Amino acid sequence: MIERRSITVEGIVQGVGFRPFVYGLAREAGLAGFVGNDSNGVFIEVEGESAILDRFEADLVARAPVLAVVERVGRSHRPVVGGSGFAICESRAGPVAETLVSPDVATCADCLAEVFDPANRRFRYPFTNCTNCGPRFSIIRGVPYDRPLTTMAAFAMCEQCRAEYEDPGDRRFHAQPTCCPDCGPSLKLLDPVGVEVTTGDPIVETARLLLDGAVVAIKGIGGYHLAVMADDEESVTRLRVAKHREDKPFAVMAADLDQAGRLVELSDEAARLLTSARAPVVLAPRAASAKVAGAVAPNNRGLGVMLAYTPLHHLLAAELGRPFVLTSGNVSDEPIAYQDGDAKERLAPLVDFILAHTRPIEVRTDDSVIRVVGDRTVPIRRSRGYAPQPVKLLDRCARPILACGAELKATFCLARADHGFVSHHIGDLENLETYTSYLAGVEHFERLFDVHPEVVAHDLHPEYLSTKYGVARAEREGLAAIGVQHHHAHIASCLADNGYAGPAIGVAFDGLGYGLDGTLWGGEFLVLEGADFTRAAHLNVVSLPGGAAAIREPWRMAVAWLLAAGVDPRPLEVYERNRAQWANVAKVCQLGGLVTSSVGRLFDAVGALCVGRDRVNYEGQAAVELEQAADACESGSYRFSLESDGPADGPLVLDARPMVKELVGDLLGGETVGRIATRFHRGLAAALAETAGRIASSTGIMTVALSGGVFQNEILISEATAALSARGLAPLTHRQVPPNDGGISLGQVTVAARRLA
């Protein structure tokens, strides 16, 4: 039977090659009709045999372009009109432009084939892209997404590129950043003083230099990277010293899955992520045969690997023949350099050469990082390839909301209707340059998504720069301000991430967050119902001797915990190493002052006790090393106790002091660090499940959301989810935004939206 259907497609369907895709699909099926854009997305009318139309509709979703996110498909019947041929028609203007901006996308197979085809006019051209791939978010200055509003504006298309751009049958139909060697950006190899190196082929020359041991800054999609050969111990060490980065692992770039498979153990999930169009850094267990310098990821059994994701990377990787370190172009905690002048200034002292190019970067975006734990993925950093794709919100926002996020690993989130636009990873706001880029980012997002916030959501910590910004802005512009407790935001974020409305039991384990009672929380069991929460249990409270000093120096937390547990520290190595200051710190603990229920700080104490990590070079280092030390064969665990403390309706207290006593006994008894580390992890997971179980039986709530930076820990996630499932509880973990403070802004939006409803 012949029929005619009107189909509407909503989601990320503009600027992603959706119309040419529909055009191709309709042509292939021999259907008549047309396709166009309107303010809601894409509208289609097609006419043909019912069975063929059904297949066409199924293919619309199943074979959609990599960049497209189809959120809704609507369909209605129309009178048959006859006719033949299929056309792309003019866009219909609508009242509200619901613009979604695509993330940057890894080079597609078609473009890659062209780049390596000597007969193609784009042979070896490092900026080749098409409607299915290439830079997007990082080059967009404004909307509508058209070339003049991208950083490609300065490059006028040549005749051939223009013809492709205007041909609906071409892969480059309306590909805004399209270009070729005749009309597009070009590479420049510079020495650190900025003098151009004369060479026939900058990529061949860069490869030669790298193989010779050089450190080279390479301009990419969202900023500059620093590159050295991954198996060159001397160069990697030189890079570490130059970057002032003592221990934090470097990521390694591989040419393809084959090469990556020789670096890390590839699960199906890891392989899927690596080869996805988002091309994140994937953290996976290092392969036994990996030929990687020790200095790439010291004291770490894992390795961060990504695949080449631009033609430039592919060409370089092919030239090099083996993996290379590709780490962010910055010094220690500064944001990565992305503007040419800034890069020259900041990176020149660190490198031997700079491989730059002439396409400007509008928005700095770091590589995204995802940890793979079995078949579970844990987002660690959400940026390139993911931002600014919105997270679908369960509650429609009655009014537009700006959520300001936290302080470390900061992101913000702009929400309108049922979309939460979580920003790219911005970084640690205490750094002035990072804070400046946070402000610029907020402004950029508001312009890009045409959202003018009427409500500002912020953390309760008065000293977070994001809180100060949010409160001041609300005051200045007369906006409503909603304070959201840090761990409430963590759990709300995990629920939003899973599209789960609640109620839920939330387990928030992290470094530190400002509590409702003015103390620093971080080992929290919350019950979330509606827009509110109650604190159902928490880790027992100990001193935080010296405040920020205790974060930098985990041995101070060992002092606090040993004191709390009533354990004599003198026979312990941690005491020997820190003897000179021990008594003073113990006195600080006894005087009262700052206290915390943080599990992150408990990890610090155990890390100082077991792996000798007295001072950290990056946040969470003691916990990372403790996890790395754990012996997978051990099946024992330490006991925590669980008691109600004070009034019957008050929170339960999960007491870790019995665990500390047992652990110290093992240490003094000569037990291996590997076994002790495992017993600690397993004990904590069991205690978590027992506490959650107790709360579940009193509330009847069976869903348990796990969030907070501590849940980047692979052993804890695996053990905790298994222990919860064994009790018949349903664990939820993060999938789209990180469990660390990078996910806080989404949680703030969710809570604020609920409060407004």
Residues interacting with Zn ion, by CB under 5 A?
108, 111, 130, 132-133, 158, 161, 180, 182-183
Helix (H/G/I), strand (E/B), else coil: 510:
strand
Which of Zn ion, Fe ion, none does 508 bind, CB closer than 5 to 8 A by kind? Answer: none
In the complex, minimum distance from the CB of residue 366 to Fe ion, in angstroms, rounded to a whole number: 19
Q: Considering beta carbons, is residue 67 or 557 the nearer one to Zn ion?
A: 67
CA distance 744 to 496: 11
Q: Considering beta carbons, is residue 108 or 609 the nearer one to Zn ion?
A: 108
In the complex, minimum distance from the CB of residue 441 to Fe ion, in angstroms, rounded to a whole number: 20
205 binds Fe ion, rule: CB under 5 A? no
CA distance 663 to 615: 21
Q: Considering beta carbons, is residue 161 or 496 the nearer one to Zn ion?
A: 161
CB of 546 closer than 8 Å to CB of 588:
yes
> Which range binds Fe ion by CB under 5 A, 281-289, 469-477, 504-512, 651-659?
504-512
Q: Considering beta carbons, is residue 383 or 745 the nearer one to Fe ion?
A: 745
Q: How many residues bind Fe ion (CB under 5 A)?
A: 3
C-alpha distances in Å from residue 629, one per residue of 179, 410, 598, 607, 659: 50, 29, 22, 10, 18
Cβ atoms within 10 Å, residue 197: 15
* Per-residue interface string for the shown chain with Fe ion, residues 376-415, x marking contact by CB under 5 A: ----------------------------------------
In the complex, minimum distance from the CB of residue 175 to Zn ion, in angstroms, rounded to a whole number: 8
In the complex, minimum distance from the CB of residue 312 to Zn ion, in angstroms, rounded to a whole number: 14
Rg of the chain on CA atoms, in Å: 27
Q: Considering beta carbons, is residue 103 or 511 the nearer one to Fe ion?
A: 511
CB of 368 closer than 8 Å to CB of 386:
yes
Cβ atoms within 10 Å, residue 669: 8
In the complex, minimum distance from the CB of residue 134 to Zn ion, in angstroms, rounded to a whole number: 6
CA distance 603 to 598: 9
**In the chain, count of helices (H) and strands (E)?**
23, 30
In the complex, minimum distance from the CB of residue 366 to Zn ion, in angstroms, rounded to a whole number: 23
Q: Considering beta carbons, is residue 149 or 183 the nearer one to Zn ion?
A: 183
CB of 140 closer than 8 Å to CB of 448:
yes
Q: Considering beta carbons, is residue 93 or 119 the nearer one to Zn ion?
A: 119
Which of Fe ion, Zn ion, none does 132 bind, CB closer than 5 to 8 A by kind? Answer: Zn ion
CB of 707 closer than 8 Å to CB of 491:
yes
604 binds Fe ion, rule: CB under 5 A? no
In the complex, minimum distance from the CB of residue 20 to Zn ion, in angstroms, rounded to a whole number: 12
Which of Zn ion, Fe ion, none does 161 bind, CB closer than 5 to 8 A by kind? Answer: Zn ion
Q: Considering beta carbons, is residue 444 or 488 the nearer one to Fe ion?
A: 488
Give burial (CB, 10 Å; 0-12/13-18/19+) of 503: middle
CB of 508 closer than 8 Å to CB of 704:
no
In the complex, minimum distance from the CB of residue 709 to Fe ion, in angstroms, rounded to a whole number: 6
Provide DSSP, 607-654.
Answer: HHHHH---S-SSTTHHHHHHHHH--TT-------EEEE-SSTTSPEEE
Structure tokens at 757: 């409803």
510 binds Fe ion, rule: CB under 5 A? yes
428 binds Fe ion, rule: CB under 5 A? no
Strand partners, 319: none
Which of Fe ion, Zn ion, none does 366 bind, CB closer than 5 to 8 A by kind? Answer: none
Which of Fe ion, Zn ion, none does 111 bind, CB closer than 5 to 8 A by kind? Answer: Zn ion
Which of Zn ion, Fe ion, none does 741 bind, CB closer than 5 to 8 A by kind? Answer: Fe ion
Cβ atoms within 10 Å, residue 51: 9
CA distance 208 to 320: 8
Which of Zn ion, Fe ion, none does 663 bind, CB closer than 5 to 8 A by kind? Answer: none
In the complex, minimum distance from the CB of residue 144 to Zn ion, in angstroms, rounded to a whole number: 21
Q: 422-457: string of b/e by CB count within 10 Å (b at 16+)?
A: bbbbbbbbebeebbebbeebbebbbebbebebbbbb
C-alpha distances in Å from residue 82, one per residue of 4, 45, 78, 224: 9, 12, 11, 55
Inter-axis angle of helices 555-565 and 599-611, nearest 10? 100
Look-up of token digits 């709530």: 701
Which of Fe ion, Zn ion, none does 510 bind, CB closer than 5 to 8 A by kind? Answer: Fe ion
Q: Considering beta carbons, is residue 131 or 691 the nearer one to Zn ion?
A: 131
Figure out which of the listed residues 164, 367, 719, 741 binds Fe ion, where binding follows CB under 5 A: 741
C-alpha distances in Å from residue 549, one per residue of 544, 584, 601: 9, 13, 12
Region of 620 on the Ramachandran plot (φ > 0 left; ψ -120 to 50 alpha; else beta): left
Rounded to whole angstroms, the maximal C-alpha distance in the chain is 91
114 binds Fe ion, rule: CB under 5 A? no
> Which range binds Fe ion by CB under 5 A, 87-95, 180-188, 228-236, 513-521?
513-521
In the complex, minimum distance from the CB of residue 5 to Fe ion, in angstroms, rounded to a whole number: 49
HSE value, Cβ hemisphere, 13 Å, CA-based, for 251: 25
Q: Considering beta carbons, is residue 470 or 513 the nearer one to Fe ion?
A: 513
In the complex, minimum distance from the CB of residue 699 to Fe ion, in angstroms, rounded to a whole number: 24
Q: Considering beta carbons, is residue 625 or 741 the nearer one to Fe ion?
A: 741
Residues in the chain: 757
Q: Considering beta carbons, is residue 14 or 129 the nearer one to Zn ion?
A: 129
In the complex, minimum distance from the CB of residue 311 to Zn ion, in angstroms, rounded to a whole number: 9
Which of Fe ion, Zn ion, none does 130 bind, CB closer than 5 to 8 A by kind? Answer: Zn ion
Which of Zn ion, Fe ion, none does 183 bind, CB closer than 5 to 8 A by kind? Answer: Zn ion
Q: Considering beta carbons, is residue 273 or 457 the nearer one to Fe ion?
A: 457
Which of Zn ion, Fe ion, none does 667 bind, CB closer than 5 to 8 A by kind? Answer: none
Which of Fe ion, Zn ion, none does 180 bind, CB closer than 5 to 8 A by kind? Answer: Zn ion
In the complex, minimum distance from the CB of residue 410 to Fe ion, in angstroms, rounded to a whole number: 11
In the complex, minimum distance from the CB of residue 493 to Fe ion, in angstroms, rounded to a whole number: 10
Handedness of CA 563, 564, 566, 569 (dihedral sign): negative
In the complex, minimum distance from the CB of residue 461 to Fe ion, in angstroms, rounded to a whole number: 10
CA distance 292 to 290: 6
Which of Fe ion, Zn ion, none does 108 bind, CB closer than 5 to 8 A by kind? Answer: Zn ion
Q: Considering beta carbons, is residue 21 or 324 the nearer one to Zn ion?
A: 21
CA distance 382 to 273: 13
> Which range binds Fe ion by CB under 5 A, 55-63, 281-289, 509-517, 610-618?
509-517
In the complex, minimum distance from the CB of residue 510 to Fe ion, in angstroms, rounded to a whole number: 4
Q: Considering beta carbons, is residue 17 or 522 the nearer one to Zn ion?
A: 17
> Which range binds Fe ion by CB under 5 A, 131-139, 467-475, 588-596, 740-748?
740-748
Residue type, 235: S
CB of 304 closer than 8 Å to CB of 250:
yes
CA distance 529 to 641: 27
Q: Considering beta carbons, is residue 132 or 598 the nearer one to Zn ion?
A: 132
CA distance 755 to 749: 10
Helix (H/G/I), strand (E/B), else coil: 321:
coil
459 binds Fe ion, rule: CB under 5 A? no
The contact set with Fe ion (CB under 5 A) reads 510, 513, 741
